[in-house]
């Protein structure tokens, strides 16, 4: 359901949210989240243009969140990460069943969008930290 660019953007922002006042380089973020640096650089540019992160040049530069993770909706991250879409092909004449299923898809998408607008990066960060805390040193689940 989530596109790879959206998942990668969330990973990068979660990494920045771990230390919100620290400037992190593209190389650091790429290594921490096992992402290709050239692709990540392009993604970070889109996130900066959307106002979700700040950038600073120089030796002490890098990227950091532009505001608290609680104020960054997941929907904004996914929207910023989305690649420009190509023009959809012209629709052929649709049957009543096609119209009904397309309407259902649109309703589902609106519901998903409302949920993503209400969820913040901070909520994902909490879930991520909880998941990490429940793993043993080998990446397995801690029990008892």
Predicted structure pTM score: 0.82
Please state the domain extents for the chain.
Answer: 4-83+95-128
Nearest Cα neighbor of 41 from 72, 62, 20 is: 62
| Cα–Cα distance, 130 to 55 (Å, whole number) | 29
129: which 2 tokens? 């930290």
Helices 4-18 and 74-81: angle between axes, nearest 10 degrees: 130
Strands of 3-108, DSSP E: 53-56, 62-65
**What pLDDT score was predicted for residue 86?**
57
Q: Do 86 and 14 contact (CB within 8 A), yes or no? A: no
CATH topology of domain 4-83+95-128: Arc Repressor Mutant, subunit A (1.10.10)
- Residues with Cβ within 8 Å of residue 17, at least 6 apart in sequence: 65, 69, 121, 122, 125
Measured CA to CA, the distance from residue 92 to residue 62 in angstroms comes to 49
Per-residue pLDDT of the chain (144 residues; tens, 9 = 90+): 688 999 999 999 999 999 999 999 999 999 999 999 999 999 999 999 999 999 999 888 899 999 999 999 999 999 999 876 656 666 678 888 989 999 999 999 999 999 999 999 999 999 988 888 887 777 676 665
């Amino acid at each position: 359901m989530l596109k790879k660019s959206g998942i990668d953007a969330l990973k990068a922002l979660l990494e920045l949210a771990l230390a919100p006042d620290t400037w992190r380089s593209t190389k650091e973020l790429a290594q921490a989240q096992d992402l290709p640096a050239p692709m990540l650089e392009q993604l970070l540019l889109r996130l900066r243009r959307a106002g979700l992160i700040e950038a600073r040049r120089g030796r002490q530069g890098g990227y950091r969140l532009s505001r608290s993770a609680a104020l960054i909706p997941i929907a904004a991250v996914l929207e910023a990460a989305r690649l420009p879409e190509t023009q959809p092909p012209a629709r052929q004449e649709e049957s009543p069943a096609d119209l009904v299923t397309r309407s259902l898809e649109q309703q589902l998408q609106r519901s998903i969008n409302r949920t993503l607008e209400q969820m913040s990066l901070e909520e994902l960060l909490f879930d991520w930290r909880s998941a990490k805390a429940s793993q043993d040193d080998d990446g397995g689940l801690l029990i008892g």
